[in-house]
Amino acid sequence: MLIVSEETCQKVVGRADAFKAVEDVFGAMARGDAYNFPVIREAIGHADALYGFKSGFDRAGLVLGVKSGGYWPGNMAKGLTNHQSTVFLFDPDTGQLDALVGGNYLTAVRTAASSSVSISHLARKDAKVLGMVGAGHQSQFQLRAAAEQRQFERVVAWNPHPEMLPKLEAVATEIGLPFEAVEPEKLGAEADVIITITSAFEPLLMKDWVKPGAHIACMGTDTKGKQEVDAALVAAATVFTDEIAQSVSIGETQHAIGAGLIAETAITPIGKVINGDHPGRSSDTEITLFDGTGVGLQDLAVASVAAKLAQAQGAAQVVSL
């Protein structure tokens, strides 16, 4: 059995590894080769923590496992990240534990890979301006990964807490992209690709602000009640997602569905585009929207890559059970 630490995951798993793992597993999900099991998420009545499991099986990649963890709001004061998780991988032939893999860095890198996969398959090829709504922990991973998908010339950004923007600006500067903090209306008017990655419970981006041909990756909404964009914007867009069941229940489309603005049948799994079973974007003026809700199979896919790379590089700890 392997133990792969957080530090080792950061050393061995790069953005390209995560992109390929996530793209492959989205494709497997759309073919019916991989599926997520029902998610458990509970307030445990201690330390204000939310704790749960995300599990699944990828028959094509032969990856079986569970990500266990959650959110401990008091961790920051202890010098720890509030989100904590660990991935357990099992041998699908025997059920034996194969690997314990740190899940914190991998969560960020797989979430960034998810929006990147959507940009790669759905954004206009000539996209030049990247719009960022959000400036927290995930936003920096999102920016780095998105910047590799198109020949972006600059970044426009807005965050409800503007004091958080300088950290995102530092990332843009590091990767050589001019950065401008703007009002959300201007962001919508200028951006060809928009990533939303906040903890918002009300729309931050309205339909009339977004220009024709934009691609929007909604990445922050992963819980019932959360919302980042106008339900009318979702209704006006051609909508793609990682998993329809999560999209309509805890993802960005929950509000447009609840208001009767769109039907579940109007939502396409991005895996269909990856597999060549859906054309994706159909015109330069169409607005495409990806609802990235975050599925357990993404975590298992990148954890499996981490375990393989760490083992190959002699960076995993080997323990007898």
Q: Which residues are catalytic?
A: 67
The distance of closest approach from Cβ of residue 150 to ligand NAD in the complex, given in angstroms and rounded to an integer, is 21
Query: Minimal CB distance to ligand NAD: which residue?
Result: 136
> Is 138 or 253 the residue whose CB approaches ligand NAD more closely?
138
Q: Which is nearer to ligand NAD, 184 or 280 (CB)?
A: 184
- The least distance separating ligand NAD from the CB of residue 39, rounded to whole angstroms, comes to 12
Between CA 266 and CA 60 the distance in angstroms is 27
Angle between helices 15-31 and 296-312 (to 10 degrees): 130
DSSP 227-248: EEE-HHHHHHSEEEES-HHHHH
Give the nearest distance from C-beta 1 to ligand NAD in angstroms.
Answer: 27
DSSP-derived 3-state class of residue 196? strand
Is the distance from CB of 284 to CB of 258 less than 8 angstroms?
no
Q: Which of 131, 133, 138 has its CA nearest to residue 155?
A: 131
- CA separation for the pair 194, 130 (Å, rounded): 6
Q: How far is the CB of 284 from ligand NAD (least distance, A)?
A: 27
Nearer to ligand NAD, 100 or 219 (CB): 219
Q: Are 192 and 167 in contact (CB under 8 A)?
A: no
Q: Which residues contribute to the site for ligand NAD (CB under 6 A)?
A: 107, 111, 134-139, 159-161, 164, 197-201, 219-220, 222, 292-294
Distance of alpha carbon 291 from alpha carbon 118, whole angstroms? 9
Distance in Å, CB of 164 to ligand NAD, minimum? 5
Residue type, 209: W
Q: Which of 275, 270, 272 minimizes the C-alpha distance to 251?
A: 270
CB closer to ligand NAD out of 52 and 136:
136
* Cβ proximity to ligand NAD, 59 vs 137, nearer residue: 137
